[in-house]
């Protein structure tokens, strides 16, 4: 079975939960950098990473890396890579993304053009043809330049891994599924604990929590680009991973997962998405204003992505966050986790966060404020 070095990008600031996920799958980490984790894996590892990683954006096979400060060095470096080991004569290949940070070469379009030309020249010499029909399987390429070090990867995933297949309808500013999963993983929450999202929108945080509780693999209901690469990743590996995922599902855990939203339409959308995810029976969605937030039990978790500008007028934000802080203060021994770009979130909530993590949600800098409640002990742990 072929061995690969696999590059797994993620949201900036969420490398730790992704590293933990990869380690839990049984693979050895080779490096952790801003926005990506790299590990060694075989064909099975490539497939299982796509199928089971909740916090990843995609899985790339590393083709190679080299130093380049000029376009000629870039061209020769790309041309020297063994593209024929991956791309057949009829393969459709293109540079889907080029990114450059602190490098002499900084134009994405120029980088993409040079890389494509170098790949064509290499494969033309190998296959002894002058024209590529490119009517076969797709082979998208991604190129990263950091301080003049070029890293080249072949994208096995296709559409980003955050697209689980269940979210057909969304809110105006939805949180990505992989980001929602990472936020949950950064808390001590387990499937038998209480979880409430008072600004649930299209239901992503409660749905991701329910999928974790039932051990539903995030990639079960979608397809991946590398499923068309039988000469690179055998078909049996995808079948084996899907069978493994099906065997792991367990709906036996009793859950208390709730999602609230002030918008009736959002509640309807959230329920529809939960049904598509196969977890509608594990979550209680309802129309409820944050001002009515309450729960009779202790030791619960509020994990939420409240409005912070895009979905609400700026003048309404102080009152919204003050109300969230007030209602949280009335809950008995709960923890509150809030991701937001609103700079006065702590001030309006009325308490300094115990922990604060900077996370980039796309290009937007956000903060994950963590207000920690006490841990249940003894009899309380059993009755949590």
The candidate with the shortest Cα–Cα distance to 114, out of 50, 81, 70, is 70
Residue 263 phi/psi, 5° resolution? -100, 120
Give the integer Cα–Cα distance in Å for 302 and 208: 14
Furthest-apart CA pair in the chain: how many Å? 75
State the residue for tokens 């949280």: 328
Please give the residue that has the higher pLDDT: either 252 or 378.
252
The candidate with the shortest Cα–Cα distance to 148, out of 94, 95, 96, 106, is 106
Give the integer Cα–Cα distance in Å for 80 and 77: 5
Parallel/antiparallel/unpaired status of strands 335-340 and 29-33: unpaired
pLDDT single digits (tens) 84-112: 999 999 999 999 999 999 999 999 999 99
Q: For residue 288, what are the contacts with CB-CB under 8 A and spacing of at least 6?
A: 198, 260, 261, 262
pLDDT single digits (tens) 313-349: 678 899 999 999 999 999 999 999 999 999 999 999 9
Mean pLDDT for the chain overall: 95
SS3 113: helix
- pLDDT score recorded for residue 309: 64
- Please state, in angstroms and as integers, the Cα–Cα distance from residue 297 to each residue in 236, 304, 373, following that order: 47, 19, 13
- pLDDT score recorded for residue 380: 58
Give the integer Cα–Cα distance in Å for 15 and 21: 10
Q: For residue 363, what are the contacts with CB-CB under 8 A and spacing of at least 6?
A: none
Residue 4 phi/psi, 5° resolution? -130, 155
pLDDT single digits (tens) 24-70: 999 999 999 999 999 999 999 999 999 999 999 999 999 999 999 99
pTM above 0.85, yes or no: yes
pLDDT single digits (tens) 60-84: 999 999 999 999 999 999 999 999 9
pLDDT band at 383 (very low <50, low <70, confident <90, very high): very low
234-243 per-residue burial string, b: 16 or more CB within 10 A, e: under 16? beebbeebbe
pLDDT single digits (tens) 286-317: 999 999 999 999 999 999 999 876 556 678 89
Give the integer Cα–Cα distance in Å for 9 and 61: 12
Given a cut of 90, whether residue 153 has pLDDT beyond it is: yes
CA angle centred on 339, ends 343 and 352, rounded to 5° = 55
In this prediction, residues 191-205 reach a mean pLDDT of 97
């Amino acid at each position: 079975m072929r061995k690969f070095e696999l590059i797994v990008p993620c949201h900036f600031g969420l490398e730790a939960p992704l590293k933990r996920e990869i380690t839990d799958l049984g693979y050895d980490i080779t490096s952790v950098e801003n926005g990506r984790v790299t590990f060694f894996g075989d064909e099975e590892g490539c497939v299982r990473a796509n199928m089971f990683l909740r916090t990843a954006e995609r899985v790339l096979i590393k083709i190679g890396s080299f130093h380049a400060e000029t376009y000629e060095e870039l061209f020769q470096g790309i041309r020297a890579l063994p593209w024929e080991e991956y791309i057949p004569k009829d393969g459709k290949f293109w540079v889907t993304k080029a990114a450059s940070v602190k490098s002499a070469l900084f134009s994405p379009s120029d980088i993409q053009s040079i890389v494509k030309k170098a790949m064509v020249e290499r494969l033309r010499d190998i296959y002894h043809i002058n024209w590529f029909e490119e009517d076969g399987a797709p082979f998208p390429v991604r190129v990263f330049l950091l301080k003049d070090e070029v890293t080249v990867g072949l994208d096995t995933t296709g559409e980003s891994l955050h697209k689980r297949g269940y979210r057909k309808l969304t809110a105006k500013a939805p949180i990505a599924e992989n980001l929602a999963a990472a936020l949950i993983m950064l808390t001590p929450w387990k499937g038998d604990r209480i979880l409430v999202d008072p600004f649930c929108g299209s239901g992503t945080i409660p749905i991701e929590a329910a999928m974790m509780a039932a051990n539903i693999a995030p990639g079960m209901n979608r397809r991946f680009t590398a499923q068309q690469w039988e000469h690179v990743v055998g078909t049996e590996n995808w079948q084996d991973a899907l069978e493994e995922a099906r065997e792991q599902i367990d709906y036996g855990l009793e859950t208390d997962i709730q999602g609230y939203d002030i918008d009736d339409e959002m509640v309807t959308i959230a329920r529809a998405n939960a049904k598509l995810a196969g977890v509608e029976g594990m979550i209680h969605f309802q129309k409820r204003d944050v001002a009515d937030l309450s729960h009779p039990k202790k030791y619960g978790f509020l994990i939420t992505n409240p409005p912070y500008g895009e979905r609400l007028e700026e003048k309404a934000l102080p009152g919204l966050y003050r109300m969230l802080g007030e209602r949280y203060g009335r809950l008995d021994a709960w923890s509150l986790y809030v991701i937001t770009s609103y700079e006065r979130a702590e001030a309006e909530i009325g308490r300094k966060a115990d922990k604060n993590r900077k996370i980039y949600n796309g290009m937007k800098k956000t903060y994950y404020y963590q207000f920690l409640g006490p841990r249940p002990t003894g009899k309380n742990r059993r009755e949590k």
